[in-house]
């Protein structure tokens, strides 16, 4: 689309977080421009999991039915031991939907991105490509995003959804991505190619093993099987530059059960994703520039909340914009106390996302245990009741708009508690 006029909001980054926030703000009557550095809007990757805290927002946006048509609504989430394939625990996703009011959905990342792109087009978001932002500026009246070609785009607010390597983040903190030394391989295969394998497309399954895990679930109405293989790289731990290579993939899963090993040959071997996050920060706003999504809180993927947090960010910001519009009472949707709206956004989102980032790190350690620690973990997971929601209530419930709405964290159970189970037997 061509750019005309001065927008109320500029969003830097045309990924899932950028598009969803642009849509949310446009719904509030604001003129929004999205600056995407690539030559076309698109998304790489494969499957993505959308928990009830996200499908609730998609429903609010009027997009949930389309998302369900594009994806799969599974009935169970199952965790198995990657070495012996035994079931450790599960979530009944039908009961989960009853509890939280909205479904657990799995969808191809590009399908979700396309859904959001079409929604933005319908409401008139100004979508620009080949727009690489190299610097940001802020003043008392607004903010500017300056492109590599020297062009500057001004608005009352700039939302920086510019990813893991965010330029805007440098305005707030001088930090670098943190390597986990883990790497992910992905692959989608037609379901007919899985004949003879123990694959139930009604389930989201994760096999957890020593230094590795393997995930699979259905996509596109059950036409595709999405697979993700994650493992710790010895080369990364040794400080080598060339790490996460296919030979390491094969070695990492050599001791796993047949159900896992049969999936490894179907992984894409020409591309892999090294897994990074960043240490949490609690300041996301610099004048009229605000971070959103991975620019603010890139997580490791163990909670499947990365894209969800970005979508929540945009929804929360738009809700606080709406409250400012209502407080103004002037009938002009552009008359907003942006300082108040951004302060309210920053008051609630950073702490929630800090919890998710730190919990993802802890869960990654838990999934990849070996030896006696693995045995204790397995005993504790097997003892869990399938309808115990102590570990999901804090994350799958309604997205908090204010700090006091944030639910308490889940109870931490030490691995040593497994010894008490053994004594009870």
pLDDT tens per residue, range 362-393: 999 999 999 999 999 999 999 999 999 999 99
Q: What is the C-alpha to C-alpha distance for residues 231 and 386, in angstroms, rounded to an integer? A: 28
Residue 2 has pLDDT above 60, yes or no: no
Which of 272, 296, 294 lies closest to 283 in space, CA to CA?
296
Q: What is the C-alpha to C-alpha distance for residues 317 and 303, in angstroms, rounded to an integer? A: 23
The average pLDDT across 56-68 equals: 98
Catalytic residue selected from 185, 207, 217, 396: 217
Residue 15 has pLDDT above 80, yes or no: yes
Residue 390 confidence (pLDDT): 93
Tokens of residue 388, six digits: 């115990």
Estimate to the nearest angstrom the gap between the alpha carbon of 64 and the chain centroid. 17
Contacts 24+ apart (CB under 8 A), 5-9: 5/31, 6/31, 6/154, 6/155, 7/31, 7/32, 7/33, 7/126, 7/153, 7/155, 8/32, 8/155, 8/156, 8/157, 8/334, 9/33, 9/155, 9/156, 9/157, 9/158, 9/159
- Assign 172 to helix, strand or coil: coil
Give the model's confidence band at 227: pLDDT under 50 very low, under 70 low, under 90 confident, else very high: very high
Q: What is the C-alpha to C-alpha distance for residues 276 and 234, in angstroms, rounded to an integer? A: 16
- Assign 207 to helix, strand or coil: strand
Residue 9 has pLDDT above 90, yes or no: yes
Which of 305, 304, 106, 306 lies closest to 224 in space, CA to CA?
106
Per the annotation, the verdict on 217 as an active-site residue is yes
The average pLDDT across 237-256 equals: 96
To 10 degrees, the CA torsion angle through 252, 258, 264, 266?
180
pLDDT tens track for 190-212: 888 777 776 788 999 999 999 99
Contact between 217 and 204 under an 8 Å Cβ cutoff? The reply is yes
Say which residue the tokens 């159970």 belong to. Answer: 413
Say which residue the tokens 């946006």 belong to. Answer: 61
CB-side neighbour CA atoms (13 Å) of 228: 25
Residue 250 has pLDDT above 90, yes or no: yes
CA-to-CA separations, 195 to 198, 262, 263, in angstroms, rounded = 8, 11, 12
Residue 3 has pLDDT above 50, yes or no: no
Q: What is the C-alpha to C-alpha distance for residues 299 and 278, in angstroms, rounded to an integer? A: 7
Q: What is the C-alpha to C-alpha distance for residues 57 and 202, in angstroms, rounded to an integer? A: 23
Residue 330 confidence (pLDDT): 63
Residue 1 has pLDDT above 60, yes or no: no
The average pLDDT across 399-403 equals: 98
pLDDT tens track for 159-179: 999 999 999 999 999 999 999
Percent of the chain past pLDDT 90, that is, above it, reads 87
Tokens of residue 150, six digits: 């020297």
pLDDT tens track for 99-152: 999 999 999 999 999 999 999 999 999 999 999 999 999 987 899 999 999 999
Say which residue the tokens 């890139």 belong to. Answer: 298
Residue 28 has pLDDT above 50, yes or no: yes
Contact between 229 and 264 under an 8 Å Cβ cutoff? The reply is yes
Q: What is the C-alpha to C-alpha distance for residues 269 and 11, in angstroms, rounded to an integer? A: 34
| Average pLDDT of the chain to the nearest whole number | 94
pTM of the entire predicted model: 0.96
Contact between 345 and 285 under an 8 Å Cβ cutoff? The reply is yes
Q: Beta partners for 133?
A: 147
Residue 139 confidence (pLDDT): 85
Which of 163, 161, 63 lies closest to 107 in space, CA to CA?
63
Residue 309 has pLDDT above 60, yes or no: yes
Sheet holding 133-138, edge to edge: 133-138, 143-147, 152-155
Q: What is the C-alpha to C-alpha distance for residues 279 and 296, in angstroms, rounded to an integer? A: 10
User: How many other CB atoms are there within 10 angstroms of residue 334's CB atom?
Assistant: 14
The average pLDDT across 331-354 equals: 93
Tokens of residue 231, six digits: 């493992």
Q: What is the DSSP string of 3-32?
A: --S--SEEEE--SHHHHHHHHHHHTTT--E
pLDDT tens track for 262-275: 999 999 999 999 99
């Amino acid at each position: 689309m061509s750019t005309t006029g001065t927008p109320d909001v500029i969003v830097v980054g045309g990924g899932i977080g950028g598009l969803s926030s642009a849509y949310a703000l446009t719904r509030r009557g604001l003129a929004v421009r999205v600056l995407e550095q690539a030559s076309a809007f698109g998304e790489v990757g494969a499957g993505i999991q959308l928990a009830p805290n996200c499908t609730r927002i998609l429903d609010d946006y009027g997009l949930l039915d389309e998302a369900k048509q594009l994806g799969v609504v599974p009935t169970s989430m199952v965790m198995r031991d990657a070495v012996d394939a035994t079931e450790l625990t599960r979530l009944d996703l039908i009961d989960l939907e009853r509890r939280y009011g909205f479904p657990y959905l799995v969808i191809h990342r590009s399908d979700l991105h396309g859904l959001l792109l079409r929604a933005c087009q319908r409401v008139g978001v100004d979508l620009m490509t080949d727009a690489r932002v190299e610097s940001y500026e802020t003043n008392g009246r607004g903010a500017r995003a300056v492109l590599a070609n020297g062009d500057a785009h001004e608005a009352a607010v700039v939302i920086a959804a510019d990813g893991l390597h965010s330029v805007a983040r440098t305005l707030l903190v001088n930090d670098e991505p943190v390597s986990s030394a883990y790497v992910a391989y992905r692959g989608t295969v037609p379901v007919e190619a899985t004949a003879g394998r123990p694959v139930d497309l009604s389930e989201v399954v994760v096999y957890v093993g020593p230094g590795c895990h393997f995930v699979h679930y259905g996509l596109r109405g059950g036409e595709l099987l999405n697979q993700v293989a994650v493992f710790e790289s010895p080369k990364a731990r040794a400080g080598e530059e060339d790490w996460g290579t296919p030979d390491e993939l094969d070695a990492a899963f050599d001791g796993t059960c047949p159900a896992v090993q049969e999936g490894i040959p179907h992984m894409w071997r020409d591309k892999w994703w090294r897994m990074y996050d960043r240490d949490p920060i609690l300041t996301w706003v610099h004048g009229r520039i605000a971070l959103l999504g991975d620019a603010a809180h890139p997580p490791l993927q163990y909670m499947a909340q990365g894209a969800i947090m970005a979508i929540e960010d945009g929804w929360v910001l738009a809700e606080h914009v709406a409250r400012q519009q209502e407080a103004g009472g002037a009938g002009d949707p552009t008359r907003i106390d942006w300082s108040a709206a951004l302060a309210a956004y920053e008051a609630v989102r950073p702490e929630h996302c800090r919890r998710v980032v730190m919990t993802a790190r802890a869960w990654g350690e838990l999934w990849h245990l070996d030896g006696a620690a693995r045995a204790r973990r397995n005993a504790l997971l097997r003892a869990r009741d399938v309808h115990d929601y102590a570990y999901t209530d804090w994350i799958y419930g309604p997205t908090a708009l204010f700090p006091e709405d944030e639910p308490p964290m889940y109870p931490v159970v030490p691995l040593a508690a497994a010894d008490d189970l053994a004594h009870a037997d």
